[in-house]
Structure 1
Amino acid sequence: MKQGAQGSAATGIERIPGAQTPEARTDAPRVPPQGRAARATDSDGTAAAPGARGEHTHSELPIPRPRPVVQRASVRGQILDALRTALVTGELTPGAVYSAPALGERFGVSATPVREAMQQLTLEGAVEVVPNRGFRVVERGARDLAELAEVRALIEVPVMLRLARSVPAERWTELRPLADATVRAASTGCRATYAESDRTFHRAVLSLSGNQQLVRIADDLHRRAQWPLVRPARPGTRGHADLVADAAEHTALLDALIAGDEDVVRSLVGEHFTGAR
């Protein structure tokens, strides 16, 4: 696993996962620079058509406006994904404060999309605003994790038991590739890779309920449960053996759902949530 967030002695800029210096990154999302004499723009922010500033266009045909290579929403989404990965791996240290300009410089973008992504993480409860400084990563303890596990069990166990009674075996069999994917992800030992495959499997199971509101709420709780504790047993990572054992429970759960064995489903789901971290 990668090491945690590091500061730069020369610049005081925090290092975040997968982020290199702007000069070294060729694939980092970047915002096109704007000159001092910026072109006139329409209300939607795109370049104004000829004549918008008084030019004589006569009978010239309008020139199609090319779409920007990188949309603002795309940059924000990429930064949000990167920050979520950093939270899962523990590379954004619980209790540490990070400024949008510093993170933006590391990503090779302006502070604005970083700030917008951090504001989304604030709504999700991952970080909190520190006035005039930036955003502090929320510190969580074992009790927070236990409470999340309890809420997840209250929501998901009844749904899975109902699905075990109503969903035909062939539908469950279709989810086998997703369960196998969690096993492969666990074998890499990468917490971020496993976290994504873990949520994908659980979303697919709950989606069979047809209740998208439930799927969204459960997915949000699941994501929160994947953030590391303040003092994890192994800093910045969940043990490889833990990930493998967790993934094996997906396979066992799917077998129980295919068999319609409600007792095994109830037992496995409860243990699965309790062991999550």
Structure 2
Amino acid sequence: MGHLTRRDLNASRERLRDQVAHALRAALISGELRPGVVYSAPALAEDFGISATPVREAMLDLAREGLVEPVRNKGFRVTEVDERDLDQYAEIRALIEVPTVGRLTRTADRADLEALRPVAEEIVRAAREHDLIGYLEADRRFHLTLLGLTGNDRLVETVGDLRKRSRLYGLTALDKRGDLIPSAEEHLELLDLMLAGDTKGAEKCMTKHLGHVRSLWARSKGPAGTAG
């Protein structure tokens, strides 16, 4: 399994835990770890060539993120997200993020918006370089930092939780087809519209972007990049 190997894991326990968690996230994204399947810490530890303790600690970190759930005396099950769940998460995100983007277009400091450009460019660069972990991390920072300009911490937490629950599986197939690049470039389009003060255009772009993300997830399901 590509991501589940020892590679250059650091001997420091805390560092090792973080590295294992990173590798497990990568395995989830690539589809190596499958939704609904239960994985034991000792078995995963054997793949890494390390003890079970840092793997168990890393899996608990992922459980707090909603990526897996503990199964008593067995291990951790990769959480499943069905089409109905995704539709509902997408609807809630649209209800929150579209009008929020419109409001920020009217009220946000232009310097704060411009400060997001390097992050938007990082998203595009990660998509072009096939860096899936980097893509998702930069995408998370862009959206949550943008929402953070409202000053509403609870809003940011809510959307952050929705993002975790509706995260993409099977991105490898999408990456190979180049489907991630158009979605990545929408961040720059959104930013330009907001900086231009085009409220309706920014809201329309965010609506399109969220719909694009939802359709990408749907296309990632199937034999080539199945999510379950």
What TM-score does the superposition give when structure 2 sets the normalisation length?
0.82
Distance 1:217 1:84 in 2: 21
1:176–1:254 Cα contact (<8 Å) kept: yes
| 1:262 counterpart residue number | 199
| 1:127 counterpart residue number | 68
1:153–1:273 Cα contact (<8 Å) kept: yes
Distance 1:74 1:214 in 2: 31
Question: For residues 213-264 of structure 1, what are the alpha-carbon distances to aligned partners after superposition, in whole Å with 9 as ceiling and x for unaligned?
Answer: 3323322322332231xxx6xx843244321110121111001110121111
1:29 aligns with 2:10: yes
| 2:40 counterpart residue number | 99
2:41–2:55 Cα contact (<8 Å) kept: yes
Structure 2 gaps of 5+ residues are: 218-228
After alignment, is 74-83 or 262-271 more displaced? Answer: 74-83
2:186–2:205 Cα contact (<8 Å) kept: yes
Distance 1:199 1:237 in 2: 21
- 1:160-175 matches, within 5 Å, as 160-175=101-116
| TM-aligned CA distance change 1:192 to 1:89, over 3 Å | farther
What TM-score does the superposition give when structure 1 sets the normalisation length?
0.69
| TM-aligned CA distance change 1:76 to 1:118, over 3 Å | same
2:4–2:24 Cα contact (<8 Å) kept: no
More helix by share: 2
Distance 1:241 1:142 in 2: 23
1:189–1:243 Cα contact (<8 Å) kept: no
User: Which of 188, 202, 213 does residue 143 from structure 2 map onto?
Assistant: 202
Amino acid at match of 2:108: V
Secondary structure of the residue aligned to 2:174 is coil
| 2:85 counterpart residue number | 144
Secondary structure of the residue aligned to 1:237 is helix
- Cα offset, 1:86, TM superposition: 1.8
User: Which of 226, 246, 253 does residue 183 from structure 2 map onto?
Assistant: 246
2:66–2:164 Cα contact (<8 Å) kept: no
Give the number of the structure with larger relative contact order, counting CA–CA contacts within 8 Å between residues 6 or more apart: 2
Amino acid at match of 1:28: L
Greater C-alpha radius of gyration: 1
Distance 1:152 1:144 in 2: 12
User: Which of 90, 99, 109 does residue 50 from structure 2 map onto?
Assistant: 109
2:81–2:166 Cα contact (<8 Å) kept: no
- Cα offset, 1:96, TM superposition: 2.1
| 1:193 counterpart residue number | 134
2:36–2:78 Cα contact (<8 Å) kept: yes
Question: For residues 14-60 of structure 1, what are the alpha-carbon distances to aligned partners after superposition, in whole Å with 9 as ceiling and x for unaligned?
Answer: x4x4332x5xx3x2133xxxxxxxxxxxxxxxxxxxxxxxxxxxxxx
| 1:237 counterpart residue number | 173
Structure 1 gaps of 5+ residues are: 1-14, 31-69
2:16–2:54 Cα contact (<8 Å) kept: yes
Distance 1:29 1:103 in 2: 17
Secondary structure of the residue aligned to 1:129 is strand
Distance 1:163 1:195 in 2: 23
